[in-house]
Each structure stands twice: as C-alpha cells, then as structure tokens.
Structure 1
Amino acid sequence: LIARVLSNSTRKMHTRRGSITDVVITDDAASHGRPRLSAVGPGSGHGTLKVTFFNGFRAKAELLPGRRVMFSGKVTQYGSSLSLTNPDFNLLDEDPDMPGMDPEKLAAMPVPVYPATSKLTSWSIQKVIATLLETLDLDDVPDPLPESVVRREKFLPVAQAYRLIHRPESHADWRQAQDRLRYQEALVLQAALARRRAQLAAEEATARRPVTGGLLAAFDQQLPFTLTAGQAAVGKTLAAELAQDSPMNRLLQGEVGSGKTIVALRAMLQVVDAGGQAALLAPTEVLAAQHFDSIRRTLGALSRDPMLSGDSLLAGLAGDAVQVSLLTGSLPTAARKRALLDAASGAAGIVIGTHALLSENVSFYDLGLIVVDEQHRFGVEQRDVLRSKASKPPHLLVMTATPIPRTVAMTVFGDLETSVLDELPAGRAPITTHVVGLAENPGWADRIWTRSREEIAAGHQVFVVCPRIGTDDDGDFSPGEAEPSAADLEGGSSARELASVTAVVEHLQQEPALAGVPLAPLHGRQDPAVKSAAMADFTANRTKLLVSTTVIEVGVDVHNATLMVILDADRFGISQLHQLRGRVGRGGLAGTCLLVTSLEPGHPSRRRLDAVAATTDGFALSQEDLKLRREGDILGASQSGGRSTLKLLRVLEHEDVIARARTDAQEIVGNDPSLAQHPLLAAAIDEYLNPEKEAFLERG
C-alpha cells in the first residue's frame, strides 16, 4: 500500500505499560476526489486509513505528516473504519530511486522479497542490494550457460537477468529473469551430479559376478514362495550392476512389506559367493536384531552357526553356508569381540549392525556391498564412514519404504539410480486407516480400548504407539532423525500433555475393557535384554498388547498384529506414520490403523493425518511430505526443512526444468567429462558447490 501520512499521534496504553502510535494515511488521489483507499476494505467513501503501532518508536519518529510511505501488512475493518496494525513500512521520499515517481507506476512495480529477519527487513536488504548493483559491473559476470542453450531457450543475457530480478519494473521483468536464473541453477547442479556420476563410473570397484551352484542358487532353490515379478526384475538389475567393475549406487524404494529385504539378501549372497562381505546397516537395535533373526531363519541350513564354524579364516566367504554376525552397541563384551574378529578376519560373510558398525575399531576383510535399511535415519556422513572401511569403492544399496523429502529430491535430480517395488507379495492384506479426532468426538477415547479388546478377543494382537517414553522426555527420536515433530513443523507449543509409554501402560492396566489382557512396554531406554524379551513375548503371542515408542517403526514383523493405535499421531511425520501402520496386516489378516489426535479439525497438523488416511501409496505420501516440508538441504547433511541449498528451484514445481537441465548436463558431461571446454560452467560448479558440499555428492 502506497500512501501519504496525514497525522501522527502517540498515547499511553491504559491496561499495561507502553504506548500506541496512531498514524492516519491517505492515498495521493484522495485530494482529487478519488478516495481509492476504500477499495481495500468493504466500506466505501473512505479516503483515509488508520495505522496502529504498539510501542512504535520508529513509526513515531519517521512517519511524519506529508511523507510518502509504502506499507506492507494485513488490512482489517472495525465497524466502518479500515485499519492496519504493526505493518512493515518503507519511506519512499527518502529513497533516491523513488523521488517524484508517479504513484500509479510506483504502485504497479513489483517489490523484491528477500529472506528477512525480525531485525533486518526485506526492504533493508533491498537497499543494500541496490547499493551493490551500483558498484558492480554486471556485464563482467560470467555466464555458465552454453551459448547454444541460451539461444534455444531464448534466455535473457545474464547481466540483464541479475538487474531485472533485483530491480524489476514489471512482472514480466522478474519472471523472465527468474526463468533464466532458475535454469542456470538447475544446469549447474545437474552438471555437478553428472560429473560426479561420471567420476564414480570411472572408479574401479571389485566385480562380484554370479557363481554357478553357489549360495544364491541354493537359496533360490529352497525358497518356499515365488518372487514377485518386481522382485525378480530388481534382482536381475542388481545382479548385473554388482557384476560390473564400477560401484553400484542404487536406491531401492518399496512399499512397506513389498519384500525389499529378500531382494537385498539375494544381492548380499551374490557378493558372498564372489568372495566378498556384505554389511547391513539398520537404524535401531530392535530392527538389527530382527534382521539378524529373520535372515538366519530365511537362510535355514545355509546359515552357519558362528560357534560351530571354527577359527579358519575366510570360512564365511565360501562353501555351502554363510556366517551371519550381529554387531550392536549393547552386545556383551565377549560377543562383541567375537563379532569384531569375524568381520575383520572374513569369517562373517554378512554383518548386520547399528551405528556400532561405524566405530573406528570395526574393520572388514573385504567389504563388497553396503546395504542401508531405512536410509532416512542416517546422514550421508555415517554412510561415508562405512564406505571408508572397504579397500576399494564398495557397491551401495539404500532402501526406503517412504522416501522422505530429501530422498525424493535426490531421486528427481537423478543422483541415485532408482528401482521401485510397487507390488505386494501374496499374503499381504490391505490396511484401513482412520483419523480419530477426540476434539470433536471425545467419547471415542473409550471406544479405542473397546476396539482393541475386540481384536484381542478374536485372537489377534495390538500395537499402541506413544510419542514419549515418560513425562520428562521426547521419546526415541534420535539426533539424526529426519522427522520433525508437529511443534517443529508448525512452530506450535508442546505444552499439552502427550501420551507416554509409562503413563499409558499404567492407564491400560486399570482400563476395564482390557481387564486381564497381558500387555507390556517397549522403548529405547530399556535394558537390551528387557527389550529382547518384550519383543520375543509379543512375537510369540504371549503379550497381546504392546505399548511402544517409534522403536517399532521399521522392520518389526509380527504376523498376528492387526490393530495399530497411534496416540497423539499429529506429533509424527508422514513418513513415520506410514512406516508405523506397516507393522499390521502382515500375516494375511486385514489391518486397521487409528490415528488419534486431540487437535481441532482445522489445525494444520490434521492435514498430515488426513493425507496418511487417504492413501497407502508411499510415493504419493512422499510427494505430500515434500509439499509440507520442502526439499531440505539437497547437497548437505540436513534431511528436511527450510535449510535448502536450492534458491529458485523447487522439486515438485520445476520437474520439467530439472529434466531439461539434466538432459543438457548429461550431454555436456558425456562429451566433455572434465568440462575443459566449458570453463565457466566448471567455475560455477566450484562456486556453487564448495568442497564440503561437493564431498556430500560424492558420498551419496
């Protein structure tokens, strides 16, 4: 809003300390009988508007009568009067670029918006930029885009693009400038990715070729089921890439329960057949233990007991059986030493572990394949540590059931080759998801436990998930956790009492509907033996109801569980909710997931719950997640949120731009891998990607 100040007065507040500054403004045309200010509100005939500032010391000093000012804020109406409260403002008659400018033209000019803070406004930044533009010779700014691309896309010259994006006179100016600079950003990034892919392809890895009559063949022969078409196709792709002497770098995306683990196990057996070792990195001890048990159970007679394998070196890397070892932080000292020795000597062909695998004292005889399960729980630095334990660049397979925003972004940008499992194996039942809104239906709180008793009476089991362990903590969220809480996402308060495992267990022990039901807690702070016992009892159907934190988020496989109750579900992200509900419906029995929330229906966090309830399509949910949370730092350690390296690019909005830039980058790098013929593009990559960010690309 551009207007001229008519009056300025300040008065003390009656009910509290401080002052109120009232400024009355008018549009320049009001004196000519055209009170256009009325157009911003329902009233008519009002050529003035009152602007109110609480403790507005700057407004009191600067908004003097006669001054022309640009205001930015929300106009409201009280009775027949329009008002504006605590708006930002910029003095136009003090701006050297604005004096005497026609108000009509000034009002039509776009205003650049910069990433401001409470103490540094966008207009302040704009003034600094204007000063810088006066001192710079933009015609000397190098253009990283090849001339052929500029001609084909009919882009503005780079100097003109920089001028018009900061000082546009029309909407067409900044749109043309933004189109040019957005494509420039996309091409620089895509060229960096293409160059890294070319460098990776040029690295020499150890080829792990299939072996006739080996462990993999024996495993396939004993499988009690037939692989889905998707599993077979992905397996064929992995087998071919593992057989190459350049490292595989692949993302395997599959719905919850789509059989990713079997695909990964077959790849690991191919590597073991070829004389190498495979490491599987899991995010939690519960999941690592589950993988250890399920893989040995699936292998059957092909799994060698480490206590019976003797001390012969390389015992796990050949022959008719493979040793599978587990390495976690809570192992007893003797077991840990044995696992470390087996990994280092080569006795263990497959090593499954948590972050303990990343310790300095962990080494491998010949690490050929790294499988990262639920990769969104790990940062790129952690994967890099594991890769450094191989003598040659190892093959890499990362798996996810629901790509988080950073993964989606990296996939769209083509940094990883991608395989998708979109077909559920036989025996998987559909999962029905409902949002249980207690704000509008408080009576449903009791119905949740009656419904739980009905499932248990039918011979089934129930998961209850809480965001907290006790009343003095924030649950099992690890420091590297990708999912922010709802309070983080909305900037809200966590003052309301959240469900905790300890409190819910106490409540359910007194709940009449669950009288006599065996129930138990499970969370990350329990002693490892207690956790293992709790999980074993639930798996064996001795415990009917398990009250847990997100420690059961991934990998937990209890076929008899049919109901998942997630309390304070608004505290979890889309990816977590999708993962959690995937714990039910795994044994051919239909699953139900209840997303319980106390938030009002219009609250922003309810949108996430509605999205999860509306579909079981993991990729569709990741797209919704990306809309809500942005890409995260595409080239950095940040996995979500606003700290994006991207300036003008948005993954969902500009996929077409990214696709065109990727095609151009592949052609450029394909013809000129070192970019010797494109020095300005190479320089832009070095400028855009400092060594740290470029290293992130290399580490995958």
Structure 2
Amino acid sequence: MRRQEPGVTAPEPQELLQSILTLEAQKSWSDSAVIGGLDSYLANAAPALPKWFAPQLQQVLTASGGYRAWSRAERQTWVIEALDLLRNPRPSGPPPELQPVTVLSRVSTKTALLFARLGVHTLNDLLYLLPRRYLDYTRMRTIAELQPYEEQTIVGRVVKASWTYPAKRRSTEAIVADRTGTIRVLWFNQPWVAKKLPKDRDIVLSGTVSVYGRRLQLVSPEWEDLESSGIHTGRLIPVHPLTQGLYAKSMRNWVTEALDICAPGPAEYLQRDVLQRSRFPTLSQALRQAHFPDSMAQAAAARQRLAFDELLSLQLGLLMTRRNWQNSQRGQPLKADPQLIRSLLALLPFSLTAAQERVLDEVLQDLSRAVPMSRMLQGDVGSGKTVVALAAMVMTAAHDLQAALMAPTEVLAEQHYRTLLTLLSTGITALPDGQEMQLHPSASLRQVPVQTVSGVLDRPLTIALLTGSLTAAHRRRVRDLIASGAIDMVIGTQALVQEGVDFHCLGLAVVDEQHRFGVVQRGGLRQKGYNPHVLVMTATPIPRSLALSIYGDLDLSVIDALPPGRQPIDTRVFHPESIHEVYGLVRTEIQKGHQAYVICPLISESDKLDARAATEEHEYLSNAVFPDLRLGLLHGAMRPADKDAVMRSFRDGALDLLVSTTVIEVGIDVPNATVMVVLAAERFGLSQLHQLRGRVGRGSDKSYCFLVGDTVSPDAMRRLNALESTHDGFTLAMQDLEIRGAGDFLGTQQSGLPPLKVATLTDFSTMEKARVEAQRLIRDERLLGDPFYEPLRERVAALWNRNVEWS
C-alpha cells in the first residue's frame, strides 16, 4: 500500500472527484479517467462525499448499467452538471430555494407582503409562480419593416428623450432611430424613463406597434440596454401573475435573480432513465425554460415536466396513505359464505344485475383478504349500490364483527336504515328493551333507533340508527350498545366519528356519498376499529381517469347498468318564456296525486347574479301559481333540524311541491315525486343536473325533468340539450369535465385534494404517467430511505402540507 508522504495533505474527496471528472471530460467522456471505470470509483467514494452531492451521485448509482451503459452524450451531460455542482457547492444549512424573498434585491418587508398576496414567501414559491402566458417579442425588425398592430422588436439609438404632457399626464416621449428610419416612442405616466435614456444610447424595444396620425409609434414598450441581460425584449417574454404594487419588469428581474441564487436549481429527484423515457428536461432546466423559454416548444416541455412533478407528488401521497392504511395493522379476513349470500339474495324482491354481481364479487374478494379493503363503489342514481353494501355488512356480521354506514344527512341515514330493515324484514322481532316497530312511510325512525331482525343469520341481527337529532337518552343507549358489541350494524351521520362513539369490533366502514365528507371524517371512522375494511359509495358519475386521480388511495368498482324496468326520465328543455307551460305540466302531475320539485340556484336574490332565488320563487309560487297546493321551502342556510323537518314532510306526503336549492341533490328517496323542474338550468353543471334528475323516477310512474334556461345562448342550450338525449351519467360527466374543468366539476371541498399550481386533473395523459411512476416508486424500497429521494419525499410532504409516513 502506497504511503502518504510527510507534510503532504490528502485532497478532499470532492476535490479528488473534481480532478477525475475534469480528466474524464478531457478524455471525451470515454470512462477511462480511473482504472476500473467511474461506476466502481463512485460506489467506493460515495460514503466520503458530501451529502449535498448525493442526488447527483445517485443518478449514476441507480441507473440501469450505470455510467458505463450511458451514451457519450448522457455521460457528457452528467459530468458537466457534476463539475458545476462541485465547483459551486451548496452551502451548509437549508437549500437556497427555502430562503425568504427578502434576500432578493430591493425586496423590503413591505414588498414581501405584496408577494404574500400571490402565495409567494420563499424563493421556491417564486420559482413556481409560473407565467400565465408569453409575449412573442422574437420578431426582430428594422424600423422601416415594422407592421402596425403586431408585437415586434427593434434595436435603435436614442435621438432624444424628454417629458411630454398628453392628456395633462406627465410622460416620456423619445425618438429612436436605426439605419432605416425613426419612430416615436411614448411611455404614459412614466416621466422617469426620460432620465434613463440619454442621447446616443443603444436600446432594444419590444411591444405592439400602433398608428398615430399617419406615422407608426410604440406606446409603453418594454425596453432595455442593448448590452443588458435580454430578459425584457427580443425574446418570449413571460407575463407573470401580479398584484397591485408589483410590476411586470421588476417581477422578471426578481425571478431571474432567484434562478441565479438557486442555481443549479432545486435538487433533481427523477432518475435519468425516467427523464429519458418521458423526454423531460431536468428540473433546473424546466424551471428556467418555464420562465424564460427559448421557444414555445421549450415552454410546453418545461410545463409538462413541472406538471408531472406535481401529479407524481399527488399520486405518491395517495398511494402512501393507502399503503400505510393497509400495512399499519393486519386486516381481518372475512371469508365469503356462498350459502349465506344465496340466502340473503333470495330475500330480495328483485334479482341482481350482472354489474351488481360483478361488483359484489370484487367486494367479497377484498373482504376475504388480510389486507384491509379500500374500495370506491361508483354507480349512477338507482343502480343498486345499497344492496352491495348490505351484502358486505351482513357478511361482516356473520363473522361477529360490526359494520357502520355513514351518510351525509340525517334524512339519508334514516332512508338507509329503513331500506336495510325493509330488505331484511322477513323476521322483525322485539327490540332489546321490549318495544316493537311497524315499518310504514310515516314512521318516526328516531323514536325506535334499535331494531332486531331474524332469518338472515343463525342468530338475531341487531341494527341501529345514530344521528345527532336522537334524544340524549337514545344516543347514550345506542352508544352503549355499540361499545358492548350488541349492535351488528349501525347507520348514522358524522355522529359516528365524534368522540364518545366507540366500537366493540368494527370490521367494515361504509361511507355513502364520499365527496360530501372530508378526509378527516373518513379517517376518523377508520380509526374507530381494528383497521376495518372501507367501502366508499358515490352516485356522482366521475370519469374513471379522474376518479383514479382523486381517490388514488382506493380501488374502483363501477356499477355501469341500471336494474331492468327502470323507465328513462322524460327530459325537456324550455326557454324562459315557456315557464307558465312548465308549471301547467307540474299541476297536471300533482292533480294525479304525485309530487314535484322546483330547484333554484340561489337562496335569495343576488345583485351579482340574475338568477332565480328559492325564497322569492317559493313566495311567488305560493301566492300566484299554486295558492291551492301545499308548498315547502328548503335551502342550505336553514338549521339542520328545520331542513330535516321539511324533507320528512315531503317524503311523507304532507307537501305537494318542494322549492329547494341543490341541497336536495343528495337526499330523500320519494317514489311519489315524478316531476323535477330546474330553473336557471344553464348555471348548473351537466353532472349536477343529472344528479337532480335522479331525484325523480324512483317509483313505477312515468317521470319528467324540465330544464328551464334563464338565457337562450346557443352554447347554453346545446349543453342542456345533451341531457334530453343522454341518460348515461358517465357520458355527461365527461362532457361536463371538458366544459368546466376538474375544479368546478368537483368543487374544492369535494375533492379533498391539495391545490395544484401547474398541473390540471384533466391532463389524463400526464396523470397516467405520474400514476405509473408512483406505483413503481412505491414498489422500490429505496424510496423510503435513499438520500437521492429525500427531495421527492420533501416535495410530497409540502404538496400535502403534512408529514407523510414513509414506512
């Protein structure tokens, strides 16, 4: 072994590596700078190299075949990046992109408050404040070649510049010349520009050429010295989001400074093979090109890379949540009993559709595994989701475990309670305390919140209702029975996730209309038991690609067929002047003994929207149109108890017509209601209209949906006409998604997803790429502890604004 000579200090590992990589560049990236090749050297040197170099190092160590397998161009790119990093090492401490914006030139505390309005607090926030669009100042012209009303760029010399007073506003006027002529340039309300334009100064100007009299001119163009950085003229110029007090030119200067401070940029976390496979630029390249692109193609590629990053973090957060749920504790396998299922299905007054049978098989297979089920059951209104949930709940009870079903409203919880009792009612027996219950439409289920049925299992099955409006005594009794294990199935609202409700052994949690609940409520219900199976149900038709994006932590089952015999709802579109004809049709149906809904988009009249309001429409209909009928009013601003009272009155036949906002969208099942009137229908999304339409047609009588537009624009009528010809909720959902975008389609609160800065949920191609890559990373154990993936783990946590368990 060679000894180190006395007095000679051994070079630092990074200095030695820098010398080796410099030699490698001199040898044209031939992998001959060290004996045995760079792969072997880097693997041995890795422990001694600084931590900030780890992401760059891991690109080689994790690549298939390593450095030796790369092309010469790939080696060149990596060596140049590595040398740049070694020559300009990151300082110790937090990465530069986490510094506050006050480190930028001329950014005071006051200016930082203006940045905060845009959600910008750090340099990283500023780097991701991407331009809304770009001005194309790439067309260089001489003054003689300028064309009016086009964005163009010229290079010229200042002949003179002085103040001028157009419309009594002190401004700057300049004459700029080149070898082909002169042009007048005007900057309104910017007198200080005159001081910056001494005679004979060479400048570049970019803007839209206008006409003044018979001459061309430039009004308030961007300008800069010919020898300057070139970020304001002669190129694609970014148009960043601004707020009052921040100006475009300053913003471009600050973004440029932030890019330079953070150079070479935030740590790369995508492996080189991923970048090559997807043809993505590196992260540092993407950020620079997104702000100051060399071409529109470069800008598009940069944005796609940054969108992929966001969607990858989104999918990783969802998949890690799912993984942690399933791995944190072993689930309880519930082996399917074919004889029990056959006996249960024999109780039903109908046969399952093929779609229901397929989905039931998927659910039963999930229940039979030791890994807890995490499945979303999606089906159109009336497709028979409740029967599938019932079978899963009975199977859970057969294994002496408890099942819980949580609904978004008390009336819907009572409806589920009634439905389950009706379907299992071959043997209704005495209540545990000796009471008895007769099922009939006007029964007040809150007075008998516990019911026992027999004939389903080889023992009695006890079913309970738990909602906030139960009496205190009933609530205590139901909670005590749940805690003791005496309750097999409990149906309730958010009361099921509140403190004071403890399950004896919760095996299955069913959540109806998932989009009405937040992630916290769903997680709270799950934590009540021993890692129970979870089945989420929704009637909201969400396209599969979007559903996988939003509920990526859930498997997806779809009931894509309605039970036979269900009549399509006769849907018609009316112009506003036909409203009296519509109300005449409503009266005809009510005279037959049926009931009707009238839906308005607002609670009360708004100065901002010229739309029908529920309170005013209720008053108008009560006094002028249907004074002889029984009308009710329902809207979201009412107290929960008052809303429930109105909904129960309508359900029980005490009201002929219910005027409501969209609070009725998910609610009571009234088979006697045969007419749905939607006013100002163009203000609703197609999926929401389809949901509202599903409130009728629940019985055997022919039903109608009348869509009355407030406007007669061709686009609005074309959208509404789609509902006349289409009854497929998924087809309508896709059209709705294309028209309105995912944000409006879902609603911020419904999605439960973190806000996205670059990506959109409707970019299905990029979303699918991100999902596939996230699944690959989840399977790669290195994701959990490898230093290379530390920036990715931090990015996921930052997007979700919480710590993600990487275990």
What TM-score, normalized by structure 1, do the two folds share? 0.77
Q: Write the distance in 2 (CA, Å) between the matches of 1:517 and 1:61.
A: 73
Deviations 1:555-589 (A, max 9, x none): 42222322101234455454433221111122244
Name 1:510's counterpart in structure 2: 623
Name 2:585's counterpart in structure 1: 451
Please state how far the C-alpha of 1:619 moved relative to its aligned partner.
2.7
- The 8 Å contact of residues 379 and 559 in structure 2, kept in 1 or not, is answered as yes
Alignment of 1:64-463 (within 5 A): 69-71=205-207, 90-93=222-225, 96-98=228-230, 106-107=233-234, 109-121=235-247, 123-138=249-264, 141-203=266-328, 204-211=330-337, 214=340, 216-301=341-426, 306-308=431-433, 319-390=458-529, 392-403=530-541, 408=546, 410-411=548-549, 414-438=552-576, 443-463=577-597
Q: Secondary structure at the match of 1:111?
A: strand
Gaps of 5+ in 1: 13-18, 36-46, 472-486, 488-492
> CA RMSD of the aligned region, Å?
4.4
- The 8 Å contact of residues 679 and 710 in structure 2, kept in 1 or not, is answered as no
Q: 1:32 aligned to 2:166?
A: no
Comparing 379-388 with 332-341, greater Cα deviation is found at: 332-341
Q: Secondary structure at the match of 2:776?
A: helix
- The 8 Å contact of residues 380 and 559 in structure 2, kept in 1 or not, is answered as yes
Q: Write the distance in 2 (CA, Å) between the matches of 1:370 and 1:612.
A: 35
- The 8 Å contact of residues 190 and 413 in structure 1, kept in 2 or not, is answered as no
Please state how far the C-alpha of 1:367 moved relative to its aligned partner.
1.5
Please state how far the C-alpha of 1:300 moved relative to its aligned partner.
1.2
Name 2:66's counterpart in structure 1: none
Q: Secondary structure at the match of 2:629?
A: coil
Q: Secondary structure at the match of 1:210?
A: coil
Q: Secondary structure at the match of 1:145?
A: coil
Q: Write the distance in 1 (CA, Å) between the matches of 2:360 and 2:546.
A: 22
Q: Write the distance in 2 (CA, Å) between the matches of 1:515 and 1:134.
A: 73
Matched AA of 1:556: I
Please state how far the C-alpha of 1:97 moved relative to its aligned partner.
0.9
Q: Write the distance in 1 (CA, Å) between the matches of 2:754 and 2:174.
A: 40
Matched AA of 2:560: D
Structure 1 residues 158 and 152 mapped into 2: Cα distance closer, same or farther (>3 Å)? same
Comparing 62-71 with 142-151, greater Cα deviation is found at: 62-71
Q: Write the distance in 1 (CA, Å) between the matches of 2:805 and 2:735.
A: 25
Q: Write the distance in 2 (CA, Å) between the matches of 1:595 and 1:150.
A: 50
Larger radius of gyration: 2
Alignment of 1:545-564 (within 5 A): 545-564=657-676
Please state how far the C-alpha of 1:266 moved relative to its aligned partner.
1.4
Please state how far the C-alpha of 1:318 moved relative to its aligned partner.
6.8
Q: Write the distance in 2 (CA, Å) between the matches of 1:78 and 1:565.
A: 57
Gaps of 5+ in 2: 1-150, 198-202, 436-449
Please state how far the C-alpha of 1:303 moved relative to its aligned partner.
5.6
Structure 1 residues 537 and 162 mapped into 2: Cα distance closer, same or farther (>3 Å)? closer
What TM-score, normalized by structure 2, do the two folds share? 0.67
- The 8 Å contact of residues 277 and 346 in structure 1, kept in 2 or not, is answered as yes
Q: 1:618 aligned to 2:756?
A: no
Please state how far the C-alpha of 1:644 moved relative to its aligned partner.
5.6
Q: Write the distance in 2 (CA, Å) between the matches of 1:527 and 1:196.
A: 35
- The 8 Å contact of residues 231 and 259 in structure 1, kept in 2 or not, is answered as yes
Please state how far the C-alpha of 1:162 moved relative to its aligned partner.
3.5
Q: Write the distance in 2 (CA, Å) between the matches of 1:693 and 1:344.
A: 35
Please state how far the C-alpha of 1:452 moved relative to its aligned partner.
0.8
Alignment of 1:37-76 (within 5 A): 57=189, 59-62=190-193, 69-71=205-207
Structure 1 residues 131 and 293 mapped into 2: Cα distance closer, same or farther (>3 Å)? same
Deviations 1:296-343 (A, max 9, x none): 122213566645579xx9989974442222222222222222222222
Q: Write the distance in 1 (CA, Å) between the matches of 2:687 and 2:177.
A: 53
- The 8 Å contact of residues 796 and 804 in structure 2, kept in 1 or not, is answered as no
Q: 1:499 aligned to 2:606?
A: no
Q: 1:646 aligned to 2:756?
A: yes
Q: Write the distance in 2 (CA, Å) between the matches of 1:460 and 1:633.
A: 34
Please state how far the C-alpha of 1:184 moved relative to its aligned partner.
4.2
- The 8 Å contact of residues 565 and 595 in structure 1, kept in 2 or not, is answered as yes
Q: Secondary structure at the match of 2:236?
A: coil
Q: Write the distance in 1 (CA, Å) between the matches of 2:315 and 2:494.
A: 32
Please state how far the C-alpha of 1:600 moved relative to its aligned partner.
5.8
Deviations 1:137-159 (A, max 9, x none): 31x75321223223334443444
Comparing 563-572 with 286-295, greater Cα deviation is found at: 563-572
Q: Write the distance in 1 (CA, Å) between the matches of 2:175 and 2:722.
A: 46
- The 8 Å contact of residues 499 and 567 in structure 1, kept in 2 or not, is answered as no
Structure 1 residues 68 and 507 mapped into 2: Cα distance closer, same or farther (>3 Å)? same
Comparing 680-689 with 238-247, greater Cα deviation is found at: 680-689
Name 1:660's counterpart in structure 2: 769
Q: Write the distance in 2 (CA, Å) between the matches of 1:162 and 1:371.
A: 44
Name 1:684's counterpart in structure 2: 792
Comparing 521-530 with 220-229, greater Cα deviation is found at: 521-530
Matched AA of 1:235: L
- The 8 Å contact of residues 323 and 349 in structure 1, kept in 2 or not, is answered as yes
Structure 1 residues 334 and 71 mapped into 2: Cα distance closer, same or farther (>3 Å)? farther
Structure 1 residues 278 and 175 mapped into 2: Cα distance closer, same or farther (>3 Å)? same
- The 8 Å contact of residues 311 and 759 in structure 2, kept in 1 or not, is answered as yes
Structure 1 residues 61 and 334 mapped into 2: Cα distance closer, same or farther (>3 Å)? same
Please state how far the C-alpha of 1:553 moved relative to its aligned partner.
1.6
- The 8 Å contact of residues 451 and 462 in structure 2, kept in 1 or not, is answered as no
